[in-house]
Amino acid sequence: MPPRSDHFSALVQGAPNNELFRFSLAQALLSEGRPDEAAPHLAFCVAKKNDWMMPRILLGKIHLGAHRINEARPLLEAALILAIEQTHEEPERELRALLADLH
């Protein structure tokens, strides 16, 4: 069973600028079906690290799920560039498919 969001929420309260705690909290919230609560934590991670692909993918998917295509596209495009640069083949394939569906 994945860690629950309350565990990571307590960690974030103790260290609100820790992007790893925020990312873990966002993942837990997503696993609990709470994307709207996860989004600000992922946005924090995106703003904190220019080369972090996963928060961009997850936040982009949240926007896609809410039909906010104009918000999703730049995140997914940036994640695709990072996937290519960092040679992450599986995310690259997934991102190319997601972006192709938007065009």
Same domain, 66 and 87: yes
Residues 61 and 97 in one domain: yes
* Sign of the Cα pseudo-torsion (51, 57, 59, 64, in order): positive
Asked if 39 and 66 count as a contact pair (C-beta separation under 8 A), the reply is no
Positions of the chain with pLDDT lower than 70, given as ranges: 1-3
Domain of 82, in residue numbers: 50-103
Number of domains forming the structure of the chain: 2
Q: 70 and 87: one domain?
A: yes
- Same domain for 68 and 33? no
Residue 86 shares a structural domain with residue 54: yes
Do 34 and 73 fall into the same domain?
Answer: no
Encode pLDDT of 86-101 as tens digits.
999 999 999 999 999 9
pTM, entire model: 0.94
Task: Give Cβ neighbours of residue 36 (< 8 Å, ≥ 6 apart).
Answer: 62
